[in-house]
A and B are shown apart, each in its own frame.
Chain A
């Protein structure tokens, strides 16, 4: 089973609105990362948050991490049509030097 599970599976919003995606995981982590995938392309790294961090910002992105609840959220503020993509969380647990990905949230931003 997947280490990370995103919620919701799909999200449709209007341009200018904020988009929030959540990720839950099962075991303790060293870091959690968020990636974006445009249709038919590879994944692009967005932001990484370490297990001892609670919040991180990058431009219009805000990521929070709650290790007690084993969950993270990605907030995209003032969304744009170009933000339309799938968003994945990935966790690194420190063993095996590998990331485990969730199933993703499909975000659609409409004009």
Chain B
């Protein structure tokens, strides 16, 4: 089975801190994604990557950046955390091409609180 591992389940950070959220997948998937999930808003795509060192903006990239130096690892960076970034962050991976009917495999999420 595909395993997507997020480094922290819970994280508490202060406003203005630089925050790193790490995600690792073990199935050699090309695509990796970062979503945030908020009540009433569902999942919103922040960034995704379809190859090493490649990245694409999702629907809400403002305030975030990403890094993909190795195929198995995709990091989400909050350059200067703000309280409106308090949320559940979900990482996912998939084989290349959703059109080829490849589902997403999710990690268990990181609940980030910014105080």
Binding site for B on A (CB under 8 A): 2, 30-31, 33, 35, 40-45, 48, 50, 88, 90, 92, 94, 96-104
Chain B residues positioned under 8 Å from A41 (CB to CB):
108-109
Which 4 A-B pairs have CB atoms at the shortest separation, nearest pair first? A42-B106, A45-B103, A103-B42, A101-B43
Whole-angstrom CA separation of A40 from B111 in the bound complex? 9
Chain B residues positioned under 8 Å from A94 (CB to CB):
98-99
Whole-angstrom CA separation of A35 from B97 in the bound complex? 18
Number of interface residues of B (CB under 8 A): 29
Partner of A98, one of B41, B58, B108: B58
Q: Which residue of A lies closest to B35 (CB)?
A: A101
Known contacts A31-B99, A42-B107, A45-B103; is-contact A97 B50 (Cβ 8 Å)? yes
Q: Which residue of B lies closest to A50 (CB)?
A: B101
- B98 contacts A31, C-beta separation under 8 Å: yes
Partner of B109, one of A31, A42, A48: A42
Q: Determine whether B45 belongs to the interface, using a CB cutoff of 8 Å to chain A.
A: yes
Chain A residues positioned under 8 Å from B25 (CB to CB):
none
Residue contacts A-B, CB under 8 angstroms, 17 given: A30-B98, A31-B101, A41-B108, A42-B4, A42-B106, A43-B43, A43-B104, A43-B106, A45-B105, A90-B104, A94-B99, A98-B45, A99-B104, A101-B35, A101-B42, A101-B44, A103-B42
B5 CB, min distance to chain A CBs, angstroms: 10
Q: Determine whether B76 belongs to the interface, using a CB cutoff of 8 Å to chain A.
A: no
- A43 contacts B90, C-beta separation under 8 Å: yes
Whole-angstrom CA separation of A79 from B48 in the bound complex? 35
Chain B residues positioned under 8 Å from A48 (CB to CB):
101, 103
Partner of A97, one of B59, B97, B101: B97
Q: Which residue of A lies closest to B30 (CB)?
A: A97
Whole-angstrom CA separation of A98 from B56 in the bound complex? 10
Whole-angstrom CA separation of A41 from B33 in the bound complex? 16
